[in-house]
Structure 1
Amino acid sequence: MKLKLLDIYNYRQFIHESIYMEDGITFLAGANNSGKTSVIELMNRLFGETSVKISTNDLPVEMYHKWVGDCENLIKDSYGTAKEKEEFIKALQDKLIGSVENPAQFADQIERESMKVKLEIGYDKEDTIELFSPYLMDLDEKTYRFYFLYQYEFMPNLFINLLDKQFDKCKKILESVLGKDGSEKGKDRLEQFIIHIVEQCYREQFFYTDKNYENLQKIEEPKDFYKLFHYRHIWANRDMPDEKGDKKKKTISSAMIEFIGKEKWKKVFEEWPDSIMDLISKVDIQGNLTDNLLYELNTVMTNISQTNGGRKEAIVIEPDVTDSDIKELLQNVSKAKYKIEGYQYYFGEETQGLGYSNMIYMHLQLQKYLKELEDDEQKKKVNFFVIEEPEAHMHPQMQKEFVRYLLKMYKDKKMQGIVTTHASEVVRIAGISAIRVVRKTSKIFEKRICDMCMFLNDLKLNKKDIENEYNILYQINFADIIFADKVIMFEGDTERMYLKRLLQRTEYRALEQQYIAFVQVGGAYTHRYRELIEFLKIKTLILTDIDYEKQEKTIDKIKGSYTTNGGLKDYYLHQKGKKKATSRFKLKIKDLYEWQKLGENKIGDYIMVSFQGEKDGCTRTLEEAMLAKLYDLSIEDTRSRGDWEKKKEDSKLEFKIPQKNDKNVKQEIEEAEILEEAEEMLSVREIVNATSSYKTDFMYSVLLNKKEKDVLPSYIEEGLKWLTE
């Protein structure tokens, strides 16, 4: 039996979100405070793992407070037309309950704003459905499904009954609010009174139903629903040591008996209690204690008893050894120790680090859970576990190994579970199709769940091998994207250095305080991320080189040339509503400049493609654009060698000035046939070409000399401004 779907309505930050479960492990990924724990707490309550029940605190905050306001207006309106109790209650009934002929005006709203969870349980032909058979409503040989509904709903009758009982109090508060001297204090009292009433009017109910969730049959007792599930929330953190104690809890030895099984200890449990009692009897513990420790104490108690009506009391010692005592003794005398291979040293369990200890603790809990599944009765249930953020206190390599272990072990055991995480290494190993991403929306109190498996399935309609392609890109590059608030894509290592330093400046503090995913990707591949960005709805700045033919040096020829950047071609055509670029498609630079000038390089709400433009002097790389900005030059402008040497000395930047024996310079001299001019006049491109093997040195000199603002190209400045908005 497998849990196939949780369809969630009106629960905390989730207005309507669906979680489709993998048959193995589903990874629920998201940043801190994204809503992962909310999902787990919902499951704990649905499946009876906790005694804490759903309450009005679990309803969407804006929706709930709007409903409280509607109830307040309803009471005011009813009281305004009917001040006597019977008439007031009748007016409320008409508005809230109504009749078959005249449905209540709030009936649809109550239904629409109820908290609901639709559950879909799947099974195979070989599964035993004995426990579920009473709840079978749709017998479909193709789907093999059971359907259940949990509902937390406002009950109008309860609301009316409570107001009926507290009418006098309600009337008094209403008079203080609606009268001529109505005060803010009175309004606050009314609001608190209504909240108190409303909170008591919600009830939870369980139903089994058909696949359309129309024919609802109530399950009278929640425990009858709970017994269908063997659910376990496995905590990633073991109990911390007592601050006043001198040793940590013995994680392994404490789990010994449960892990090995009580049957293995049967003889110990049968024989040890009698043996210990015989030893106690031989040394006459009771007699010795009575003669020594308890004699004086009982004498005092006898004297005191005379003031208590003469009732005499005495303390006696009665030895009693039970199975639980033996179990505790075994746990206390059994000690796990670590032995390092090649050495004769042993280390106590308490010497291990927190991450290592937590990993062992989780493993033991999982093993215990698996052992419970050996019971035939448990096999009839939906067996499902949850581990919340197992990466806690683990370094990245340990995270990867633990997730690999989980995936292998529970694939072999055909186990189903959810692992929540906010670690890139965990989701990278998990694989993209097993990920469900919890993300913020533009509304402060709402979150959404992005199903990466469904995302891939939609893409497969057009490209069959897309999953393999995305998994490769995902594992080597963009796992961070799913946790990010925003994304910056760039081409090279020097861009990464520059951008990270730039974002530390005051004007970009708003960006620096967000989680920015820096994704390094060549311009030819940026378009491969478009569907993912739009699916996750992440604002993404793509910084890429315009990549026209390098030999073009005049602005007119540059504008007439073509870009070789495949990503720019694809985004240009996509924005124009045309088909994907082919190898034969040519895109002129002048068209890109116009596209940029019109702001059409902003693709929808989430993507801006930024590249060197006319404001950057028609340059073609980051380094060219930086020098052009610093010295107010275009790609056509030249300066003498002496001028460049002075600029280099003044700025302290590490760029190279080509010498006469440079191969490129010789070629230009021969072409120009003017030796003196070639020696004297150099362009930005010639400087950058000479510096091509020293780009990292150049960038370090920019950062160490605090020139990042002075060299900031327009295309990056405009892109960061858009990203900040």
Structure 2
Amino acid sequence: MHLQSFVVRNFRRLREITIDLATDATVFVGANNSGKTSAMHIFEYFLAKSAKFSVHDFGAESWQKFDVFDPAVENSALPTITLDLWFSVDDANLHRVIDLLPDLEWTQSAPVGVRLSFEPKDPIDLYANFRTMCDEPGSWPMGLHDYLRKRLSTEYHVAYYKLDHRDKDKQPAQRLERGKEILHSIIRVDLLQAQRHLADEDQLGRGEDLSRTLGRYYEHHLDKPEVAPDALQALSDSEKNLNAHFAGVFGSVVGQLNKLGYPGLTNPELVIKAELGGERLLTSSGTQVHYVVPGSTAITLPDRYNGLGFKNLIYMVVEILAAHQARKSIAVARPPVHLIMIEEPESHLHAQLQQVFIRQLQTLVTGPDAAGTQFVLTTHSSHIVYENFKSIRYFARIDDQGPFHYSEVRDLSVFYGETADDTRKFLLQYLKLTHCDLFFADAVILAEGNVERLLLPLLIAKFCPRLEASHLTILELGGAFSHRFKELVHFLGLRCLIITDIDSVRPEGHHKACTTDVAGAITANPTLKTWIPCEQTIDALLTAGPARLVDPASAKVRVAYQTLHKVSWNGDSKEIAGRTFEEALAFENLEWSQDDANKDFMLQVGQAARDGELGPLLQAIFDKIRDTLDKTAFALTLIEKDVNWNCPAYLQEGLNWLADQLHGTDALPAAAGGGDESAS
């Protein structure tokens, strides 16, 4: 039996999301403040002994509904927060869900659902209580929303309803009086939060050191030794015996750490030692984690002398094992589903250890008692994400449909199954090799090549500083491969600027590269031919208006390629577009690029061409860039030397468009539910 999916409604920025869970591990990703953490915390809020909701946990769209509520008005209703849980049931656990079956027509191939609803106990009484307070002298409350800021826990409660899979959107009519008891007999949820506050050097702070963590694990889950009658008079002997005992009972924990690469060849070995005072002999608080100094078998140091990375790793392993043991220890009606939720496991872990952790996570909990264990992780680590593409659930921030921001969830297993094999393989290989932060960025820029990738930070700083406040991911793809990202960009709903080259070639023969003013020239760029603007001739590309540069399937995607620019030389002038970024830069800074003072930028051509007419000069620049220019050295020189030059117009327009796309998001207030820590 396992949790197949869950639906969240009206919780912070989660207006209505449905998340399908893998039977092993599911990874939540998304930009900051996209709702990842909220999708975890709602379990904690609903399944705690008492509901932890505040009025600020309701979606921002609900706040006005509180103040206009009037039970005398037809269809007036108070907002609720709901969590629907859908379980897949096996034969062994069918008896546990009898009370949840919608009717006798239910078949075992269908899921079983229960709704948890945080709702008013009695809307009429609530309103009467509010009106009574309004009649009291004083300025509080200013409205029903204000009243519930202080009285929510007394006016609202959690109610339970059975659901019918044949009509998942139907409001449940049948309430479960034993809903809480039934649910707790089916599922156990353990949340390992990101704010772990592991102690480093200051033991007097708020931090929790590993000794306490392992001490709790020992106290609750491991066998205790028999203490000799004279132990109180022989503390050193008891310490020796306890150390041997700890080595035995903690052996499995250390063994689990070995699966994650700890201690490895150079890291200190972990040992558990007794540190006894007479009053602590029989308690786990008399234990300390020590590390054996490398190269020594006798010298040990307390755990505060080791780095935070391994502390975090050991802490997570122990907490996962403790959660597993706690579930195992339930002798009667042990929940068949165990959801272990881990926030940002990458904290303090280097890249390789992050990969090992997610790869080996499932092996930490093994054996018959591990059946039904599902892991859910939130992460900002690309190293964790790309270990299993199908496990990703992407939280997309939606902020272009009205004043209130909300999120939608995209299931990458669906994308994986619906994408052509060659495209899927390319994407998986590229994303794994680059470890880019595509899933965590505000926007993505698909750059033509190495020069554009190197120069984009400089271009943004000099010509579009508004973008410096945004989290951008830059992928170097080129026009030959950018179109491979079309389906993924559309699926995720990403804001995307494609910076590419017009790549003019002759229409005949082997399509040899040529300047853009050659009659009948066509483009060799697959992105321009098959994605945006879906044109092949250079004339059509150069006359395409601004509207044609935006993806007709998504207003969040735009292409930027070289455009016509008027250039003048020795009294002659014409309109021409560069074929590449380097040409566009040279053409649109013609005097600068041919000035002797700027010859270090390697765009200057021979004296004969500079003394002649405009046409031969442009051809000479084209030939030099194509045949002899070291483009990487050219880019690095631009970065190194702080001189004035004009940004090519097509790049300026593209960057401004992207800044306009992001500016609205940055300017609007944060979503309901607080800052990123509470709503991400």
* Alignment TM class, shorter chain as reference: 0.7 to 0.9
Question: Partner of 2:4 in structure 1?
Answer: 4
The answer to whether the Cα contact below 8 Å between 2:394 and 2:411 also exists between their aligned partners in 1 is yes
Residues 658, 374 of structure 1: CA spacing in aligned structure 2 closer, same or farther, 3 A cutoff? Answer: farther
The answer to whether the Cα contact below 8 Å between 2:292 and 2:300 also exists between their aligned partners in 1 is yes
Report the 3-state secondary structure (helix = DSSP H, G, I; strand = E; otherwise coil) of the residue aligned with 1:599.
helix
The answer to whether the Cα contact below 8 Å between 2:4 and 2:20 also exists between their aligned partners in 1 is yes
Question: Partner of 2:527 in structure 1?
Answer: 567
Separation in 1 of the partners of 2:616 and 2:416?
61
Separation in 2 of the partners of 1:120 and 1:679?
72
The answer to whether the Cα contact below 8 Å between 1:7 and 1:19 also exists between their aligned partners in 2 is yes
Separation in 1 of the partners of 2:439 and 2:530?
23
The answer to whether the Cα contact below 8 Å between 1:2 and 1:382 also exists between their aligned partners in 2 is yes
Question: Partner of 1:532 in structure 2?
Answer: 488
Amino acid paired to 1:588 = T
- Alignment match of 2:123 (pick from 156, 161, 168): 156
> Considering only aligned residues, what root-mean-square deviation do their CA atoms show, in Å?
4.0
Q: How much does 1:482 deviate?
A: 1.4
- Alignment match of 1:121 (pick from 81, 84, 87): 87
Are residues 1:549 and 2:486 paired? no
Question: Partner of 1:26 in structure 2?
Answer: 26
Are residues 1:396 and 2:351 paired? yes
Are residues 1:701 and 2:604 paired? no
Q: How does 1:378-393 map to 2 (within 5 A)?
A: 380-393=335-348
Residues 263, 368 of structure 1: CA spacing in aligned structure 2 closer, same or farther, 3 A cutoff? Answer: closer
Are residues 1:649 and 2:597 paired? yes
The answer to whether the Cα contact below 8 Å between 1:490 and 1:543 also exists between their aligned partners in 2 is yes
Residues 565, 196 of structure 1: CA spacing in aligned structure 2 closer, same or farther, 3 A cutoff? Answer: same
Separation in 1 of the partners of 2:135 and 2:289?
68
The answer to whether the Cα contact below 8 Å between 1:337 and 1:348 also exists between their aligned partners in 2 is yes
Q: Structure 2: where are the runs of 5+ without partners? A: 236-275, 507-511, 567-575, 661-680
Residues 480, 650 of structure 1: CA spacing in aligned structure 2 closer, same or farther, 3 A cutoff? Answer: closer
The answer to whether the Cα contact below 8 Å between 1:653 and 1:698 also exists between their aligned partners in 2 is yes
Q: How much does 1:536 deviate?
A: 2.2
Q: How much does 1:525 deviate?
A: 1.5
- Alignment match of 1:340 (pick from 269, 294, 306): 294
Question: Partner of 1:37 in structure 2?
Answer: 37
The answer to whether the Cα contact below 8 Å between 2:501 and 2:581 also exists between their aligned partners in 1 is yes
Question: Partner of 1:488 in structure 2?
Answer: 445
- Alignment match of 1:589 (pick from 533, 538, 542): 538
Residues 69-112 of structure 1: per-residue CA shift (max 9 Å, x gap):
313xx5xxxxxxxxxxxxxxxxxx543xxxxxxxx331xx44xx
Residues 478, 348 of structure 1: CA spacing in aligned structure 2 closer, same or farther, 3 A cutoff? Answer: closer
Residues 382, 688 of structure 1: CA spacing in aligned structure 2 closer, same or farther, 3 A cutoff? Answer: same
Number of equivalences? 590
The answer to whether the Cα contact below 8 Å between 2:161 and 2:179 also exists between their aligned partners in 1 is no
Separation in 2 of the partners of 1:466 and 1:421?
25
Question: Partner of 1:88 in structure 2?
Answer: none
Question: Partner of 2:675 in structure 1?
Answer: none
Q: How much does 1:226 deviate?
A: 2.8
Residues 165-194 of structure 1: per-residue CA shift (max 9 Å, x gap):
55853xx78xxxxxxxxxxx7995898568
Are residues 1:474 and 2:431 paired? yes
Q: How much does 1:146 deviate?
A: 1.9
Report the 3-state secondary structure (helix = DSSP H, G, I; strand = E; otherwise coil) of the residue aligned with 1:542.
strand
Q: How much does 1:145 deviate?
A: 2.5
Q: How does 1:618-637 map to 2 (within 5 A)?
A: 618-631=577-590
Residues 348, 440 of structure 1: CA spacing in aligned structure 2 closer, same or farther, 3 A cutoff? Answer: farther
Amino acid paired to 1:691 = T
Q: How much does 1:594 deviate?
A: 1.9
Q: How much does 1:520 deviate?
A: 0.9
Residues 190, 569 of structure 1: CA spacing in aligned structure 2 closer, same or farther, 3 A cutoff? Answer: closer
Report the 3-state secondary structure (helix = DSSP H, G, I; strand = E; otherwise coil) of the residue aligned with 1:700.
helix
Separation in 1 of the partners of 2:62 and 2:477?
42
The answer to whether the Cα contact below 8 Å between 1:456 and 1:466 also exists between their aligned partners in 2 is no
Q: How much does 1:512 deviate?
A: 0.8
Are residues 1:683 and 2:620 paired? yes
Q: How much does 1:222 deviate?
A: 3.1
Q: With the length of structure 1 as denominator, give the TM-score of the two structures.
A: 0.72
Q: How does 1:165-204 map to 2 (within 5 A)?
A: 168-169=135-136, 188=142, 192=146, 200-204=154-158
Q: How much does 1:55 deviate?
A: 3.2
Residues 188, 252 of structure 1: CA spacing in aligned structure 2 closer, same or farther, 3 A cutoff? Answer: closer
Separation in 2 of the partners of 1:517 and 1:39?
25
Residues 193, 432 of structure 1: CA spacing in aligned structure 2 closer, same or farther, 3 A cutoff? Answer: closer
Q: How much does 1:396 deviate?
A: 2.3
Residues 339, 276 of structure 1: CA spacing in aligned structure 2 closer, same or farther, 3 A cutoff? Answer: closer
The answer to whether the Cα contact below 8 Å between 1:47 and 1:229 also exists between their aligned partners in 2 is no
Q: How does 1:278-427 map to 2 (within 5 A)?
A: 326-328=281-283, 332-333=286-287, 335-340=289-294, 346-375=300-329, 377=332, 380-407=335-362, 409=364, 415-427=373-385
Report the 3-state secondary structure (helix = DSSP H, G, I; strand = E; otherwise coil) of the residue aligned with 1:425.
helix
Percent of aligned pairs sharing the same letter: 20
Residues 526-582 of structure 1: per-residue CA shift (max 9 Å, x gap):
11212222222222110111112275656552x51221111111114xx66xxxxxx
Separation in 1 of the partners of 2:211 and 2:140?
60
Residues 199-257 of structure 1: per-residue CA shift (max 9 Å, x gap):
75333212233223534232346354334322211245254368464998652585268
Report the 3-state secondary structure (helix = DSSP H, G, I; strand = E; otherwise coil) of the residue aligned with 2:625.
helix
The answer to whether the Cα contact below 8 Å between 2:13 and 2:406 also exists between their aligned partners in 1 is yes
Residues 526, 190 of structure 1: CA spacing in aligned structure 2 closer, same or farther, 3 A cutoff? Answer: closer
The answer to whether the Cα contact below 8 Å between 2:504 and 2:516 also exists between their aligned partners in 1 is no
* Higher relative contact order, structure no. (Cα contacts within 8 Å, ≥ 6 residues apart): 2
Amino acid paired to 1:157 = I
Amino acid paired to 1:719 = G
Q: How much does 1:26 deviate?
A: 0.7
Report the 3-state secondary structure (helix = DSSP H, G, I; strand = E; otherwise coil) of the residue aligned with 2:93.
coil
Amino acid paired to 1:562 = I
- Alignment match of 2:558 (pick from 608, 616, 619): 608
Separation in 1 of the partners of 2:453 and 2:151?
57
- Residues 159-168 or 349-358, more deviating: 159-168
Q: How much does 1:416 deviate?
A: 0.5
Where is the helix percentage greater, Structure 1 or Structure 2? 1
The answer to whether the Cα contact below 8 Å between 2:215 and 2:287 also exists between their aligned partners in 1 is no
- Alignment match of 2:75 (pick from 78, 88, 105): 105
Larger Rg: 1
The answer to whether the Cα contact below 8 Å between 2:7 and 2:17 also exists between their aligned partners in 1 is yes
Question: Partner of 2:268 in structure 1?
Answer: none
The answer to whether the Cα contact below 8 Å between 2:445 and 2:498 also exists between their aligned partners in 1 is yes
Separation in 1 of the partners of 2:541 and 2:523?
9
Report the 3-state secondary structure (helix = DSSP H, G, I; strand = E; otherwise coil) of the residue aligned with 1:560.
coil
Q: Structure 1: where are the runs of 5+ without partners? A: 75-92, 96-103, 174-184, 281-320, 577-585, 634-643, 666-674
Residues 201, 556 of structure 1: CA spacing in aligned structure 2 closer, same or farther, 3 A cutoff? Answer: same
Q: How much does 1:423 deviate?
A: 1.8
Amino acid paired to 1:210 = D
Residues 124, 658 of structure 1: CA spacing in aligned structure 2 closer, same or farther, 3 A cutoff? Answer: farther
Q: How does 1:77-88 map to 2 (within 5 A)?
A: none
Are residues 1:207 and 2:161 paired? yes
Report the 3-state secondary structure (helix = DSSP H, G, I; strand = E; otherwise coil) of the residue aligned with 2:126.
helix
Report the 3-state secondary structure (helix = DSSP H, G, I; strand = E; otherwise coil) of the residue aligned with 1:528.
helix
- Residues 422-431 or 371-380, more deviating: 371-380
The answer to whether the Cα contact below 8 Å between 1:544 and 1:610 also exists between their aligned partners in 2 is yes
Separation in 2 of the partners of 1:354 and 1:120?
38
The answer to whether the Cα contact below 8 Å between 1:488 and 1:543 also exists between their aligned partners in 2 is yes
Residues 274-315 of structure 1: per-residue CA shift (max 9 Å, x gap):
5457989xxxxxxxxxxxxxxxxxxxxxxxxxxxxxxxxxxx
Residues 694-715 of structure 1: per-residue CA shift (max 9 Å, x gap):
21221222222224x6141111
